[in-house]
C-alpha cells in the first residue's frame, strides 16, 4: 500500500518559481539518500554538458554529485504502486545547470536496480539509465550499507556506508547546501536532439549532518569526469516525496 502524501501540492511557498501548469504525472519517494559532492573543474565539466545548457556555478565553482538512495511509490498518476515494480535502488551522477534563470539538474548517469525502470526511462525520456546489481541494507541504528555494480559498459561501481547524525534542517537560501539540493527540474536531451525541462515538486529537503565512508567509487570516472583528491561533502536525508510532470521542450540560447 502506498504511503505517499496526497497533500504534497499544498506545500509550495518555498518554491523558487510557481508550480507547473497541468496535472502531475508520477509519484516518487526517495529513501535513505546520501548527497556526496565534490568541487570539479568547470572547463572539464563544460565539455561533458550539452552546449545549450548553462553550467550553474556556486561562487564560480562547479560541483558534481553522486547520490545513492532507494525508491518507493514509483507510479504513474491514478495507478497504484506495485511492490515488484515501484520500489528499487537508484544511484545518480549529476551536475547543475540552468536555462532561463531556472536552475536544475543534469544527469550523467542513473543506475537502477530495476531493468524495467531503466528501460522505460531510456525509451520515454532518453535519460542515461543503466541496469545494475544493487543492494541496500539499513540497520536498526540507521546505518545504510550501499553497493552497486553496473551490468553494462561503461563499467561503474559504488560502495559506501553512511548514516544521518541528526540535526534535521531545511537548507537556507544562498547557502551551498541549498544550491546543491533545492532543485525543482531536470534538463536533458530527447531522442531528436532537442533540449527539454522536466519539472518536479517536493517539500524543502530535510537534511542531516552525515557520517560515512565511500569504499569504492568509479561513477564519475565512468562519466569522464575526474574527482579531486579531497573528501566529499556529505549530507543525508531519510525521506523525500516528489511529484513529476511531463517533459517540455525548451529553446536554449
State the pLDDT at residue 53. Answer: 97
What digits encode the pLDDT tens for the residues 75-130? 988 776 666 678 999 999 999 999 999 999 999 999 999 999 999 999 999 999 99
What are the φ and ψ backbone dihedral angles of 175, each rounded to 5 degrees? -90, 165
By the 8 A CB rule, do 232 and 23 touch? no
Q: Which residues pair with 99 in a beta bridge?
A: 102
State the pLDDT at residue 84. Answer: 63
Which cell numbers in the block locate residue 151? 551490468
Q: Which residues pair with 159 in a beta bridge?
A: 147, 216
Q: Dmax of the chain from CA atoms?
A: 50
Q: Which residues of the chain fall short of a pLDDT of 50?
A: none
3-class DSSP state of 44: helix
State the pLDDT at residue 42. Answer: 96
Report the residue count for the chain.
253
State the pLDDT at residue 1. Answer: 57
State the pLDDT at residue 83. Answer: 65
By the 8 A CB rule, do 213 and 11 touch? no
What sign has the CA pseudo-torsion 189, 190, 196, 198?
negative
Q: How far is CA 80 from the centre of its chain?
A: 23
By the 8 A CB rule, do 61 and 87 touch? no
What span, in angstroms and rounded, lies between the C-alpha atoms of 225 and 66? Answer: 12
Pairing of the two strands 102-112 and 185-189: parallel
What span, in angstroms and rounded, lies between the C-alpha atoms of 172 and 154? Answer: 37
State the pLDDT at residue 92. Answer: 98
Q: Verify cis geometry, omega within 30 degrees of 0, for the bond prior to 154.
A: yes
- Looking at domain 24-249, its CATH architecture is Beta Barrel (2.40)
What span, in angstroms and rounded, lies between the C-alpha atoms of 238 and 178? Answer: 17
Which cell numbers in the block locate residue 245? 510532470
State the pLDDT at residue 80. Answer: 66
Q: Which residues pair with 104 in a beta bridge?
A: 97
Q: Is 221 exposed, middle or buried (0-12, 13-18, 19+ CB in 10 A)?
A: middle
By the 8 A CB rule, do 205 and 38 touch? no
State the pLDDT at residue 6. Answer: 85
State the pLDDT at residue 82. Answer: 63
Q: Which of 68, 31, 102, 1 is nearest to 214 (CA)?
A: 68
Amino acid at each position: 500500500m502506498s504511503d505517499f502524501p496526497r497533500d504534497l501540492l499544498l506545500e509550495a511557498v518555498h518554491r523558487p518559481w510557481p508550480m507547473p501548469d497541468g496535472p502531475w504525472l508520477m509519484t516518487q519517494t526517495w529513501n535513505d539518500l546520501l548527497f556526496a559532492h565534490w568541487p570539479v573543474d568547470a572547463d572539464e565539466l563544460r565539455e561533458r554538458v550539452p552546449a545549450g545548457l548553462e553550467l550553474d556555478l556556486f561562487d564560480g565553482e562547479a560541483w558534481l554529485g553522486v547520490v545513492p538512495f532507494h525508491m518507493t511509490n514509483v507510479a504513474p498518476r491514478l495507478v497504484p504502486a506495485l511492490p515488484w515494480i515501484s520500489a528499487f535502488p537508484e544511484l545518480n551522477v549529476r551536475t547543475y545547470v540552468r536555462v532561463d534563470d531556472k536552475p536544475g539538474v543534469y544527469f550523467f548517469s542513473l543506475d537502477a536496480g530495476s531493468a524495467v525502470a531503466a528501460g522505460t526511462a531510456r525509451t520515454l525520456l532518453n535519460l542515461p539509465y543503466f541496469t545494475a546489481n544493487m543492494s541496500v541494507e539499513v540497520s536498526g541504528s540507521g546505518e545504510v550499507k550501499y553497493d552497486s555494480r553496473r551490468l553494462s559498459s561503461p563499467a561503474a561501481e559504488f560502495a559506501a556506508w553512511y548514516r544521518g547524525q541528526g540535526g534535521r534542517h531545511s537548507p537556507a537560501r544562498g547557502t551551498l547546501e541549498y544550491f546543491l539540493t533545492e532543485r525543482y527540474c531536470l534538463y536533458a536531451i530527447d531522442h531528436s536532439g532537442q533540449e527539454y525541462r522536466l519539472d518536479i515538486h517536493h517539500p524543502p529537503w530535510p537534511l542531516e549532518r552525515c557520517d560515512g565512508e565511500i569504499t569504492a567509487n568509479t561513477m564519475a570516472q565512468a562519466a569522464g569526469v575526474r574527482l579531486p583528491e579531497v573528501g566529499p561533502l556529505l549530507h543525508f536525508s531519510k525521506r523525500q516525496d516528489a511529484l513529476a510532470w511531463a517533459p517540455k521542450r525548451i529553446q536554449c540560447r
